[in-house]
Chain A
Amino acid sequence: MKTRERILQTSLLLFNEEGESHVTTLEIANEMNISPGNLYYHFRGKEAIIPELFDRFEHELTSILKAPIENPLSLEDNWFFLYVVFEEIHEYRFIYRNLSDLLQRFEVLHRRFSRLLDLKRLTAKAICTSLMQKQIINIDEEEITQLADSITMTITFWMNFQQLRTSETPSHLLMHQGAFQVMSLLAPYFTEQHREFYDGCHAFYQEALKEVS
Chain B
Amino acid sequence: MSEKGSDIAKNIWLAGLGAYGSKLNEAVEKVGKGTSKYFDELVEKGKSLEAETSERVNKAREFSTISIEDRIERVRHGLGFDHKQDPQLTALTKRVAALEKKLGKLMDTIEPKSKTRTKSRSAKKSTSKKKTVRKTKSKKA
A80 at the interface (CB under 8 A from B): yes
A-B contact pairs, 10 of them (CB 8 A): A2-B59, A60-B65, A64-B68, A73-B72, A76-B81, A77-B72, A80-B81, A81-B72, A83-B75, A204-B79
Question: From A58, which residue of chain B is reached at the shortest CB distance?
Answer: B63
Chain B 80-116 interface mask (CB, 8 Å, partner A; 1/0): 0100000000000000000000000000000000000
A-B contact count (CB 8 A): 37
Chain B interface size band reads 10 to 19
The 5 A-B pairs at the shortest CB distance, nearest first, are namely: A67-B68, A83-B75, A80-B75, A84-B71, A80-B72
Q: Besides the contacts A84-B68, A84-B75, what 16 more A-B pairs have beta carbons closer than 8 Å?
A: A4-B59, A56-B63, A56-B64, A59-B65, A63-B65, A64-B68, A67-B68, A73-B72, A76-B81, A80-B79, A80-B81, A81-B72, A84-B71, A87-B71, A87-B75, A204-B79
Most A CB within 10 A of own CB, among B56, B60, B71: B71
A73 to B73, CA, bound (A): 12
A5 at the interface (CB under 8 A from B): yes
The reply to whether A63 and B59 form a contact with Cβ atoms under 8 Å apart is no
Residues in B whose Cβ lies below 8 Å from that of A56: 63-64
Chain A 159-203 interface mask (CB, 8 Å, partner B; 1/0): 000000000000000000000000000000000000000000000
Residues in B whose Cβ lies below 8 Å from that of A204: 79
Residues in A whose Cβ lies below 8 Å from that of B65: 59-60, 63
How distant is A60 from chain B, measured CB to nearest CB, in Å?
7
Question: From A82, which residue of chain B is reached at the shortest CB distance?
Answer: B75
Q: A59-B63, A80-B76, A83-B79 are in contact. Are A64 and B56 (CB under 8 A)?
A: no
The reply to whether A5 and B75 form a contact with Cβ atoms under 8 Å apart is no
A2 to B58, CA, bound (A): 13
Tell me which residues from 31 to 79 in chain A have a Cβ below 8 Å from any Cβ of chain B: 52, 56, 59-60, 63-64, 67, 73, 76-77
The reply to whether B59 and A64 form a contact with Cβ atoms under 8 Å apart is no
Q: A2-B59, A4-B56, A5-B59 are in contact. Are A63 and B75 (CB under 8 A)?
A: no
A29 to B79, CA, bound (A): 37
Residues in A whose Cβ lies below 8 Å from that of B63: 56, 59-60
Tell me which residues from 32 to 83 in chain B have a Cβ below 8 Å from any Cβ of chain A: 56, 59-60, 63-65, 68, 71-72, 75-76, 79, 81
A165 to B60, CA, bound (A): 38
Question: From B80, which residue of chain A is reached at the shortest CB distance?
Answer: A204
Question: From A74, which residue of chain B is reached at the shortest CB distance?
Answer: B72
The reply to whether A63 and B79 form a contact with Cβ atoms under 8 Å apart is no
A77 to B67, CA, bound (A): 14
A63 to B63, CA, bound (A): 11
